Structure 1
């Protein structure tokens, strides 16, 4: 059991250590003076140098004692005590997800990285009294940390701090709230994103467009969701595609950005994303430079035979696997009817961007990290969005009743900040089979 620093036993132990340090300092001083006396046969400059060295040792020792006296003993925040003070509404607004979703996220991460890496609060409580030979060393290390830095930070606190930073919180406020150093807050933030959420070995969720293209059953299920929204008139759609510019650290004029190409299904679940293009790059060009585009070009005949296709706005070039709206369609014509159902189905990608941008306030201002960390932060936002969508669908909850009343103030602030207008490009391409397919959908 860890002794409190103000207990009688701890005070007695401190007096013993202080007395031992005094004796040791006296012995060192005598040795240094003996060395000085042994130099009496040397010239005065050598003696002066030896005396200055001794005085410097005393000064450094005095500074170390002063810093030790000013050291702040941290009492680590317990997640159970902190979360118990929050109502369900406060919890959702603070961490951008429900309490149940948060604990499900903790369990998923603990399964992926292991309990020793995650260090949940329950695991740390049991670690104090463990007799497991594999955990004894960690237990001793934890007790040493408790006497110096306050102990290990639990996995729940690390995840909560990361979610709050993604939601737009200040690292200075969070370092005070969770009893950790300000620099430690960002160290935890980047480590959680890099090793827990966007891990190469076991990511939080799997977003792989190539696997999706190879899974015909999954494509058929997504196409059925789109068909239901149009009473079966708009069939074969397996996803909506669009580009989204995320601002990053900018120069004195204008701004830099990253063009994020995203494909989602009707339920706003992200099926594919690529984050490697400049903000000024056209959406169509960014998509053509992706590995998914090359795979689609190889499998275009198979997708055409099955009747599967993506939908995108007129910024994209028309292909057999990508349908775009008609230009200058006259009201009441079959082309106008096609554009109506096309737009109604494509709106889900705009809603996806809106939900991601609304939930994660870190995206409201330019990201100020390195390019690699900026990409990781964006990817973490998308993966967490998918995790929340999966949880929402498993419960059968409605996003309008679940989120709208919670993020009202954030929504107004977000909408007021939107001043950009997406440019519309001119499409062209293999008009033969694609045009015929589009005519049939009219």
Structure 2
């Protein structure tokens, strides 16, 4: 094509685009007629009010009973209350909380929830983001405050009492939260499972409560890399977590003081305060017992993730929001998990013996670990050997010989 003609065509196309962009888009309605009936026919004003008459159905709908919903509203309400304007009435805090919880509990699209509650799709998106952020802000200090030395010591006592693992201060693991592929992200969020995800790295105590969470790691990053890049991992390396000092285990004084440790799977490195299983498949009976005892304590984090995904069904779908909104929602579900689990703990009778009888299938002992690639120092290897010897001698429990 002649250069002059080509230039004229480009000018005409550019002029047409400018003309189209300059036109104002006239909305057909300021508020759609269907949305105007929200206070009469919207799901919150109709169905939810009927569900309050049946606590079981209300729990199935919001994943919590009515009194917990009201208590949560009392904590979050001041942060999510909006003022009315001259043109429209604001959506009330209770309805905003209901919309957010319904999204977390189902993972339905914003369009679906908008139709049900008779709220615009963009409003649902904004409400979910703002309310989830407010839930985290309102509950984090009370439900997930940074543990102090006394808190770590209490967690160690609980692990020893419930899971027969002394000096254990938490189980650590990562969970991939599946999201839709973010625009222009390349392979940053693409994980080894063939999906796009954010990484939720969590430390869980003996009661299945999240004590530390780090959300937002790229899906392509391994658990070890997520730990290394997180603030928790940095504090663990720098020794600024305010952990209790090494302690002599009762009955094993000859082994000297042993450090308090987190327990993780083979994806994590062996560190002074982080134990992982012996790698490989073929081990002596002593190493198999150690791997099983460690895996038994580590299962609390797997169970916590299972409870989280079972209660908040958004984890069972592909989260169709931006990574930033998905991160806010994940944080909100974690702190809500603690809020609800603490209620269960408070209602549990005191003095009930823990269930310490595990599965004694020898195949479970042999297949627990997989080969890892993390290297460790000689001191950390010796520390793991000391724990291994303890579990096979002074710390042995009656069911081990049957393994």
Query: 8 Å contact 2:149–2:244 — kept in the other structure?
Result: no
Higher relative contact order by CA 8 Å / sep ≥ 6: 1 or 2? 2
- Of 28, 37, 40, the residue aligned with 1:74 is 37
**In the TM superposition, what whole-angstrom CA distance separates every residue of 1:296-332 from its partner, at most 9, and x where no partner exists?**
2232896552431100011111111011122347677
SS in 2 for 1:190: helix
Query: 8 Å contact 1:224–1:235 — kept in the other structure?
Result: yes
- Of 276, 297, 307, the residue aligned with 2:237 is 297
Q: Which position in structure 1 is the counterpart of 2:97?
A: 159
**In the TM superposition, what whole-angstrom CA distance separates every residue of 1:325-384 from its partner, at most 9, and x where no partner exists?**
223476772322222221111111111111111222222222222221121122112121
Task: State the alpha-carbon separation in 1 of the partners of residues 270 and 244 from structure 2.
Answer: 15
Q: Which position in structure 2 is the counterpart of 1:277?
A: 217
Are 2:379 and 1:439 equivalent residues in the alignment?
A: no
How is 1:37-436 mapped onto 2 (pairs within 5 angstroms)?
71=33, 73-76=36-39, 82-86=47-51, 87-110=54-77, 113=78, 117-118=80-81, 141=84, 144=86, 149=88, 151-167=89-105, 168-194=107-133, 196-199=134-137, 203=140, 205=142, 207-208=144-145, 211-212=146-147, 215-230=148-163, 233-250=164-181, 254-299=194-239, 303=244, 305-306=246-247, 307-328=259-280, 333-396=285-348, 425-432=372-379, 433-436=382-385
- Change in 2 beyond 3 A, CA 1:274/1:154: same
TM-score, scaled to structure 1: 0.64
- Change in 2 beyond 3 A, CA 1:198/1:302: closer
Query: Following TM superposition, by how much is the alpha carbon of 1:283 offset from its aligned partner in structure 2, in angstroms?
Result: 0.7
Query: Following TM superposition, by how much is the alpha carbon of 1:271 offset from its aligned partner in structure 2, in angstroms?
Result: 0.9
- Change in 2 beyond 3 A, CA 1:69/1:179: closer
Task: State the alpha-carbon separation in 2 of the partners of residues 353 and 273 from structure 1.
Answer: 12
- Change in 2 beyond 3 A, CA 1:370/1:361: same
Query: 8 Å contact 1:242–1:263 — kept in the other structure?
Result: yes
Query: Following TM superposition, by how much is the alpha carbon of 1:118 offset from its aligned partner in structure 2, in angstroms?
Result: 3.0
Paired residue total: 320
Task: State the alpha-carbon separation in 1 of the partners of residues 279 and 376 from structure 2.
Answer: 14
Query: Following TM superposition, by how much is the alpha carbon of 1:237 offset from its aligned partner in structure 2, in angstroms?
Result: 0.6
Structure 1: gaps of 5 or more residues: 1-59, 120-137, 399-421
Point out the structure with the larger helix share.
1
**In the TM superposition, what whole-angstrom CA distance separates every residue of 1:246-278 from its partner, at most 9, and x where no partner exists?**
112138994221222111011110011112322
TM-score, scaled to structure 2: 0.69
**More displaced stretch, 334-343 vs 160-169:** 334-343
Query: 8 Å contact 2:109–2:320 — kept in the other structure?
Result: no
Query: 8 Å contact 1:303–1:309 — kept in the other structure?
Result: no
**In the TM superposition, what whole-angstrom CA distance separates every residue of 1:54-82 from its partner, at most 9, and x where no partner exists?**
xxxxxx9xx99x96898554352595764
SS in 2 for 1:271: strand
SS in 2 for 1:76: helix
Task: State the alpha-carbon separation in 2 of the partners of residues 388 and 326 from structure 1.
Answer: 36
Query: 8 Å contact 1:319–1:429 — kept in the other structure?
Result: yes
- Change in 2 beyond 3 A, CA 1:67/1:326: closer
Q: Which position in structure 1 is the counterpart of 2:8?
A: none
Structure 2: gaps of 5 or more residues: 1-23, 248-258, 351-368, 392-403
Query: 8 Å contact 1:247–1:256 — kept in the other structure?
Result: yes
- Change in 2 beyond 3 A, CA 1:95/1:383: same
